[in-house]
Amino acid sequence: MNFGSKYLPLRTVIIMLVCSVVIIALVITGVLLINASTESIEHHQGEKAMSIAQTVSITPLVIEALEKNQRGRDVQSFTRNIQQETNMLFIVVMDMNGIRLSHPDPSRIGKRFIGGDEKEVLKGKKYTSTAEGTLGPSLRAFHPVFNESGKQIGAVSVGISLQSVNEAANKRKKIIFTGMGAGIVIGMIGAIILAANINRILFGLEPAAIASLLQERNAMLESVREGIIAVNNKAEIVVANAEAIKIFQKAGLDPDPIGKKADEYLPKSRLVRILQSPKAEYDQESDINGLPILVNRVPIILNGKLAGAISTFRDKTEMKLLAEQLTGIKTYADALRAQTHEFMNTLHVITGMVHMKEYKELESYLRKQTKLYQTESSSIGHIVKDPVIAGFLLSKRSYARENKVKLNLEVNRPLPASNNHEMTHHIITILGNLIENAFDAVKEKHEKRVDITIEYNGFACTITVKDNGEGIPLEIRNLLFDQTVSTKGANHGYGLLNVKKSVQSLSGKISFHTSNEGTVFKVVFPYREERSE
């Protein structure tokens, strides 16, 4: 049978299959029972007839009549009474020549036994057979009659009408057929209930839809760039996507975690803890055999019961690189925004002067702005040779001027361009975050001042950023470089963390001093001049 939208629904297939199995099983069982029942009835009736024949054969009245060859009324009356009491078709006593001494029809007495199946009993054997006599087809039991000396002197035949045997068999068949019918009805009802329950468990989905969902689920698991593992309520790993396997291999673990205990395969996974205390954990730092990762752990609740837990994780080095890239992009964007805003202000002034036809004042203003820009560009470009860093500092000066912050830049000697592009990125991350924090620190001050000092001695570079703010609160000074620690509120606290990471990437050191008169951050790191090949 085929499943799917083009074929029979699963519910129909289950009903048809179960009903077919029940019907076939009951029919086969019924046939076997009917055959066994018919044989049992025949055997039982045969034994009953044989028992009566044996009883008659040892009766003194019968023995005496056969020895004296008497065909009197005594034997006829005796057998007639037994026949009526036992509901037999006939009881016939015959001599060794097959001549009847008794018969239900008195006119048959003195005549030979009819049927042809009496020969063996006259040889001393007892048995049952089926034959047709003067009273119709019957089941017959034959038993020899012996005198006191053990000599056979005749035989007894007891017959049961085959019609009565068939009637008894038919009654048994009706009972069996009734049971079969009831079984089929119950089976059909059970099949419908079973199909409905399976349909409910499968949320009404057909096998083709389930297979499609499974394929889509596997495709989604394998397409994400995060490692994913899931455990059941016994803490056994049941799902692990390709990215998880890749990270496990990178950490030197067995690449086949399925079926293994989570606490044995990943001792630091904490998934067992999630099963014991079903509370989600997000953005937690951990490691796998020394490989740093960022992990999320979530319990799986089904129908109000804990069914397992799932963990997603990613190589922290990749996340770190991504965060640093995003931080640099944000810094560049802020710098461009400041320059754009200042340029728009300048354009507004120019537009206003043009409308007012103040051409002489406009000419003077343009010369002043041009001279200011050239002076700043020339001065910064002269002391900082790296064009990216120089452009960044120029944009920060524009931002400071826009926000009425006095920004001073001092350099002991021109800072050459670096031969490492990543170093340039880290320097901008350090300067951008420290300067941004300094601007935030002085925004409530009447006189806003930020001093930047860059010192270069040929081997190392020292960056100092000083502000005249209120200083860093005492309660967070020891946690200043921790994630999410900030005086700015929620969703902040990443700036100094990124500064620390950039300083570590440059193999440098960072320190700070703070008081109610301001804060000074100092960063020292190795710096090499760019050299042409």
Most confident range, picked from 294-303, 395-404, 519-528: 519-528
Give yes or no for residue 151 having a pLDDT over 80. Answer: yes
Contact 284, 297 (CB under 8 A): yes
Task: Provide the pLDDT for residue 143.
Answer: 93
Contact 142, 154 (CB under 8 A): no
- Longest Cα–Cα distance of the chain, Å, equals 172
Spell out the residues 6+ positions from residue 162 whose beta carbon is closer than 8 angstroms to its own. Answer: 130, 136, 137, 138, 139
In the predicted model, what is the mean pLDDT of residues 497-516?
Answer: 89
Spell out the residues 6+ positions from residue 427 whose beta carbon is closer than 8 angstroms to its own. Answer: 389, 418, 461, 463, 502
Q: How far apart are CA 75 and CA 81, in angstroms?
A: 10
Comparing 503 with 334, which gets the higher pLDDT? 503
Spell out the residues 6+ positions from residue 516 whose beta carbon is closer than 8 angstroms to its own. Answer: 470, 471
Most confident range, picked from 40-54, 308-322, 385-399: 40-54
Side-chain half-sphere of 159: how many Cα atoms within 13 Å? 26
Side-chain half-sphere of 199: how many Cα atoms within 13 Å? 14
Q: How far apart are CA 295 and CA 228, in angstroms?
A: 10
Q: How far apart are CA 18 and CA 13, in angstroms?
A: 8
Alpha helix (H) residue ranges in 227-315: 242-250, 262-265, 271-276
In the predicted model, what is the mean pLDDT of residues 238-262?
Answer: 87
Task: Provide the pLDDT for residue 450.
Answer: 93
Encoded tokens for 85: 């009491």
**Strand order in 305-315's β-sheet?**
237-240, 227-232, 305-315, 291-302, 281-288
Task: Provide the pLDDT for residue 126.
Answer: 92
In the predicted model, what is the mean pLDDT of residues 98-110?
Answer: 86
Spell out the residues 6+ positions from residue 432 whose beta carbon is closer than 8 angstroms to its own. Answer: 327, 328, 330, 331, 334, 335, 392, 396
Task: Provide the pLDDT for residue 494.
Answer: 60
pLDDT per residue as tens digits for the range 280-325? 888 788 888 878 888 888 888 888 888 888 888 887 666 655 555 5
454 — alpha (psi -120 to 50), left (phi > 0) or beta? beta
Encoded tokens for 257: 């975690």
Tell which residue, 250, 227, 230, has the closest CA to residue 239: 230
Q: How far apart are CA 464 and CA 512, in angstroms?
A: 9
CATH 3.30.565.10 domain locations along the chain: 403-526
Give yes or no for residue 472 having a pLDDT over 90. Answer: no
Q: What is the dihedral of CA 275, 276, 280, 285, to 10 degrees?
A: -90
pLDDT tier for residue 509 given thresholds of 50, 70 and 90? very high
Task: Provide the pLDDT for residue 375.
Answer: 47
In the predicted model, what is the mean pLDDT of residues 182-199?
Answer: 87
Comparing 364 with 474, which gets the higher pLDDT? 474
What do you get for the CA distance between the two ends of the chain, in Å?
Answer: 75
Q: What is the dihedral of CA 240, 244, 246, 249, to 10 degrees?
A: -90
> Chain-centre distance of CA 399, in angstroms?
55
For 403-526, CATH gives: 3.30.565.10
What are the beta bridge partners of residue 287?
292
pLDDT tier for residue 42 given thresholds of 50, 70 and 90? confident
Task: Provide the pLDDT for residue 116.
Answer: 81
In the predicted model, what is the mean pLDDT of residues 506-533?
Answer: 85
How far is the CA of 144 from the CAs of 92, 116, 128, 270, in angstroms? 12, 16, 12, 92
Spell out the residues 6+ positions from residue 45 whose beta carbon is closer than 8 angstroms to its own. Answer: 139, 160, 165, 168
Lowest-confidence segment of 44-53, 88-97, 393-402 by average pLDDT: 393-402
CATH 3.30.450.20 domain locations along the chain: 1-223, 226-315
241 in helix, strand or coil? coil
**Strand order in 152-161's β-sheet?**
90-95, 152-161, 136-146, 127-133
Q: How far apart are CA 147 and CA 257, in angstroms?
A: 92
Give yes or no for residue 398 having a pLDDT over 80. Answer: no
Task: Provide the pLDDT for residue 346.
Answer: 67
Question: CB count, 10 Å around CB of 479?
Answer: 12
Contact 450, 501 (CB under 8 A): no
Q: What is the mean pLDDT of the chain?
A: 81
Burial 186-222 (b: 16+ CB within 10 A, else e): ebeeebeeebeeebeeeeeebeebeeeeeeeeeeebe
Task: Provide the pLDDT for residue 111.
Answer: 87
Q: How far apart are CA 105 and CA 235, in angstroms?
A: 90
CA 258-320-467 angle, 5° bins: 155
507 in helix, strand or coil? coil
In the predicted model, what is the mean pLDDT of residues 133-148?
Answer: 86
Task: Provide the pLDDT for residue 533.
Answer: 45
Give yes or no for residue 16 having a pLDDT over 70. Answer: yes
Map tokens 């396997």 to a residue.
245
Most confident range, picked from 332-341, 390-399, 413-422, 517-526: 517-526
Right CATH number for 226-315 from 3.40.50.300, 3.30.450.20, 1.10.3430.10, 2.40.280.10?
Answer: 3.30.450.20
Side-chain half-sphere of 499: how many Cα atoms within 13 Å? 26
Side-chain half-sphere of 45: how many Cα atoms within 13 Å? 26
Task: Look up the pTM and report it.
Answer: 0.43
In the predicted model, what is the mean pLDDT of residues 121-138?
Answer: 85
Task: Provide the pLDDT for residue 3.
Answer: 45
For 1-223, CATH gives: 3.30.450.20
